Copies of this chain bind each other. A is one copy, B any other.
Amino acid sequence: MKKHYATLKDVAERAGTTAATVSYVLSESSTRYISEEMRRSVLNAARELNYIKCSGASSLRGKKRKMIAVLVPQFENQFFTRIVLATEEVFDRHGYILTICNTFDDAEREQDILNRMQQQRVDGYIITPTKEGVANTKLLRQLGVPMVVVDRPLQGIDDYYWVTTRNYQCGYVGAQYLISKGHTRLGFIGWDSGIPDLLNREQAFFDAARDHGLAREGLVAVDGGFTMEEGYRMTAKLLDERPELTALLYGYNIQAKGGIRCLMDRGINIPDALSVVIIGSPEWVSAGKNNFTHVNQGDYELGCKAANLLLEVINGDGKVPVKHIIQECTLVEGESVCAL
């Protein structure tokens, strides 16, 4: 038994013709006359041999690979899982397949993965870059390979396609909601990412408080790593150092998960003893007994928009103008905030 995929030549042989003709038949090119008889015979041969075109070979002649690369920092973070899900659905419809890699927010790893993707000559990139994203994507940008950046920005440059959350608004609506319920002593827990755009969440927290006349002394923000454990640690720290706080705004769902674990461990009742709002909408905020007030960033839509934009760029022949798409967020009221 043959242990390899059938080639054009195999099909040609069986159909009594040459590879060229088979290629023309299978690509349904209209630029060439093919007799009905020949067409039939080729199609039969192809079916009988289970012919499957080798995309690697055809891409050598300039055809598309029909492959998209997706790079995310935390694949298991539902924010990203949903972006990937949306991307997959969009590209699936157009016959593409997705290659997905986890950078773990590690710049070296990102470079390594981008390298592998470039070896595959994928047609386009959807990427949530690390802080070294600008350097790591330099070659791609030089070559003009289609790329859409999602969520986090490429720092220091401006001419790239970007789809992101209105981060400032996320922080603002979250804080505003707490204030509207009468809270005046608020804590913010965030990520010390060093990424300017993300820091807007915290800035907005302070701005909202100021805009509503709250005293600066009642406010506190603490920043740490982008993990559950750090969320737990920072929550414990706030509880210990600022017992007068009546509400917490979590800037990131991953940290919120750990933080709320801390509240549970200490037997703190939500919302009676402490009110909580979370930016982000992982499944758990409203599953089972949970019903947390949170800010929905529209994860799935973000993914759809990024994917559609990338598709446009890929098919756009260099003519799609650079744009930044910024998606509004919405507050979803749950039962984790009490009125004071």
Residues of A with Cβ closer than 8 Å to B? 1-5, 50, 52-57, 59-60, 65-67, 75-76, 78, 81-82, 84-85, 88-89, 92, 95, 97-102, 113, 115-121, 139, 142-144, 257, 260-261, 264, 270, 282-285, 287-290, 292
Q: How many copies does the complex hold?
A: 2
In angstroms, how far is the closest chain B Cβ from the Cβ of A154? 18
Closest-CB distance, A177 to chain B (whole angstroms): 18
Nearest residue (CB) in B for A74 is B85
Q: How far is the CA of A282 from the CA of B1 in the complex (A)?
A: 45
Q: Which of B88, B257, B283 contacts A100 (CB 8 A)?
A: B88
Chain B residues within 8 Å of A88, by CB: 75, 100-102
Expressed in whole angstroms, the minimum distance between the Cβ of A48 and any Cβ of chain B is 12
Show 14 A/B contacts (Cβ-Cβ < 8 Å), sorted by A. Answer: A2-B143, A52-B119, A52-B139, A56-B60, A56-B65, A75-B88, A76-B85, A98-B99, A98-B101, A257-B287, A257-B288, A261-B287, A284-B288, A288-B289
Q: Which of B56, B102, B288 contacts A260 (CB 8 A)?
A: B288
Q: Which residue of B lies closest to A318 (CB)?
A: B3
Are the CB atoms of A100 and B98 closer together than 8 Å?
yes
> Closest 10 CB pairs between A and B?
A56-B56, A284-B287, A288-B290, A284-B284, A55-B119, A52-B118, A99-B99, A289-B289, A97-B99, A100-B100
